Structure formats: structure tokens, C-alpha cells
């Protein structure tokens, strides 16, 4: 993961495991976790220690206007989150594929970090910043930022 992130963003990557009590973010009516609340919680962790922070999860995330999301970020902010939950083939009745799962997760993480650099969704079909409503959308786009997005982000 760290290598894929460093390939797109010219900063060192440090990983740190932090355990959170997720119960306060759980919505029993939806049987999902509130991404906006989790994002705010992560934003408060080590506030000044890192340029950007990405919380990685295994739970089903939502925001009020969507049924589910793969990740969420603060536009022009410092914090993003991403979840493996909806990226697993098994969610869709298909055979387990760890390699595809990791590839999808990298794309979601790089996409969400892009939002923290001020990038919005891109119309270039292979740019990692292209919007992804369905897991198939993630599969169809590339792992890299297009040149236009790199320029906007100052990379």
C-alpha cells in the first residue's frame, strides 16, 4: 500500500495501528457505520503530526445521502478514510480474489487522498479520481492520477 501511495504523492508514508471503539459510529437502523463521524474522529488523531491521514477500515460505511461508500475525505483537508467492506468479491457472490481486493483498495485510498489535495472527480476514464459508484467502476479506472489532476494538485 505504502509504495502505491508514494508513487502518486511525493511524501513519506508511515503506518500506525490505532484501535477505535466503533460502536459510537454504528447506525443500527442502517446496520452500517457513519463515515462522516468516523472522518471527524480520525481528523482529531495526531492533528499536527502528519501532512495527511488515512483511516483504513473493514466496516460498511455510509453517508446520509448514499446507500454505501468506499471511502470519504475532507476536500482540501488532512483526513480521509477507506474501507475494504464493499470491495470484496464475496459481497457480490463472486469468488474471493485477494489480488483484486488489494488493487481496489489502493485505488480507493489514492482517490480519497486526492480529495485531500483539493481534487474533485475527474472525467478521464482511466484517472484514479474518476467517480466510482459501483465496484466495477473501480475496476475500470487506473491506479494513477491523470496529468491534469497532478497539475491541479501541484504534484
Q: What does DSSP assign to residue 18?
A: -
pLDDT at 47: 65
As given in the structure block, the three cell numbers for residue 112 are 480519497
pTM as predicted: 0.94
| Pair 130, 143: CB distance under 8 Å | no
Give all strands (DSSP E) within the chain, no chain letters.
26-27, 32-34, 53-57, 61-63, 66-69, 71-73, 79-83
Question: Would you write out the chain's pLDDT as a tens digit for each of its 155 residues?
Answer: 788 888 888 887 877 788 889 999 999 999 999 999 999 999 887 667 788 999 999 999 999 999 999 999 999 999 999 999 999 999 999 999 999 999 999 999 999 999 999 999 999 999 999 999 999 999 999 999 999 999 999 98
Q: Delimit the domains of the chain by residue range.
A: 23-153
**Residue from 41, 103, 112, 136 carrying the catalytic annotation:** 112
- Judged on CB neighbours under 10 Å (0-12, 13-18, 19+), 127 is buried
- Within 10 A of 143 (CB to CB), how many other CB atoms are there? 15
CATH architecture of 23-153: 3-Layer(aba) Sandwich (3.40)
Answer yes or no: 17 catalytic: no
Measure the CA–CA gap between 25 and 46, rounded to whole angstroms.
Answer: 20
Amino acid at each position: 500500500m505504502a509504495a502505491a501511495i508514494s508513487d502518486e504523492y511525493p511524501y513519506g508514508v508511515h503506518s500506525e495501528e490505532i484501535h477505535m471503539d466503533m460502536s459510537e459510529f454504528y447506525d443500527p437502523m442502517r446496520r452500517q457505520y457513519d463515515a462522516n463521524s468516523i472522518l471527524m474522529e480520525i481528523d482529531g488523531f495526531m492533528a499536527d503530526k502528519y501532512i495527511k491521514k488515512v483511516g483504513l477500515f473493514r466496516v460498511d460505511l455510509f453517508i446520509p445521502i448514499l446507500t454505501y461508500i468506499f471511502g470519504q475525505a475532507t476536500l482540501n483537508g488532512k483526513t480521509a478514510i477507506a474501507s475494504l467492506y464493499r470491495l470484496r468479491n464475496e459481497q457480490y457472490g463472486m469468488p474471493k480474489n485477494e489480488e483484486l481486493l488489494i488493487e481496489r483498495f489502493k485505488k480507493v485510498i489514492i482517490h480519497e487522498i486526492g480529495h485531500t489535495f483539493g481534487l474533485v472527480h475527474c472525467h478521464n476514464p482511466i484517472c484514479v479520481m474518476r467517480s466510482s459508484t459501483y465496484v466495477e467502476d473501480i475496476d475500470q479506472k487506473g491506479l494513477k492520477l491523470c496529468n491534469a489532476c497532478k497539475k491541479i494538485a501541484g504534484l
